[in-house]
Amino acid sequence: MIGKSSNEESQLCFSYSKQKNLHRSTSSRAIAVQLNGAIQRFKQDLKNLRSSALALSRDFQHQCKNYLYQVLTAVQKIQLQNEFLQEFQTNAFELEQSLQEVNEKYQKEKEKRRVLHNSLVELRGNIRVHCRIRPVLHFDTASAESSSHDRYKKFSEKVAYATDDETVLVKCNRPGHALVNKTFQFERVYSAVESQETVFADVSPLLTSLLDGYNVCIMAYGQTGSGKTYTMLGPQSKEDFTLPVETEPGLGIIPRAAEEIFSLTSTWKVAYAPDCGFLINAFSRL
């Protein structure tokens, strides 16, 4: 009995050891399988990570190349702009020097013109006396027609003539005296047919002297009805003594001079504003 029990115990121990080894082998195999799967997953993740790293590296290199190209392009543009700016500054400096030289020449020529112009005015005479034979105006004719026949005949008869640009012939015909012709000399004589524009053309150079800093005076002298207002302002009626503002051939010296002064001051670089005044007096012989 004892021997039989020992054999059974040995068999039981062997079976237990065998089952235990089998269990261990099965557990090791399962662990090995799990470990192998984890290793495979790790390898796959490592492969994916490597692929992502390579793609990221290639993308980074591509972006770096693009950025580098953009930076080089911007640098080239800046260099071109700097060259253009330097060239522009050089041209501007040369142009400024040329403009300064032209301005200096202009100032010299302007001074020469001023001296020559005023020398010419002085040669023509600083004080000049012009004589104008006033044309017959419409209200003169109306006044004469309302008078007696004899007075109208005397009124319509010419007693003063401009024989040339410097001589006036006056008929002196007084009752009880013989007819006498007298001549008078002036720097300039205007006949009755000469226009307001012709008169202004002879005095307009004085406006240039005015803007050059010289004192200028234009004075109309004569008795009432001799034509002072007509020459200085233009045609006026006895009922309406207003200065015509519209541009017309009949404008006198004052409106023409004012317009000319404004025109000259707007085109010239005048260093000062001229002080101009207009004074109208009526002289009568009693």
Q: Among 153, 150, 281, which residue's Cα sits nearest to residue 222?
A: 281
Buried-state track 105-119, b at ≥16 Cβ within 10 A, e below 16: eeeeeeeeebeeebe
Q: Any binding-site annotation on 228?
A: yes
Q: Which of 35, 27, 230 is nearest to 134 (CA)?
A: 230
162 has which bridge partners?
A: 168
156 is in an annotated binding site: no
Does the annotation flag 222 for ligand binding?
yes
d(CA 123, CA 112): 16
DSSP β-ladder status, 167-172 and 180-185: antiparallel
Q: Is 226 annotated as a binding residue?
A: yes
213 is in an annotated binding site: no
Residue 223 annotated as binding site: yes
Q: Is 225 annotated as contributing to ligand binding?
A: yes
* Largest Cα span, the chain: 211
Enumerate the known binding-site residues for ATP. 222-229
Annotated binding site: 222-229
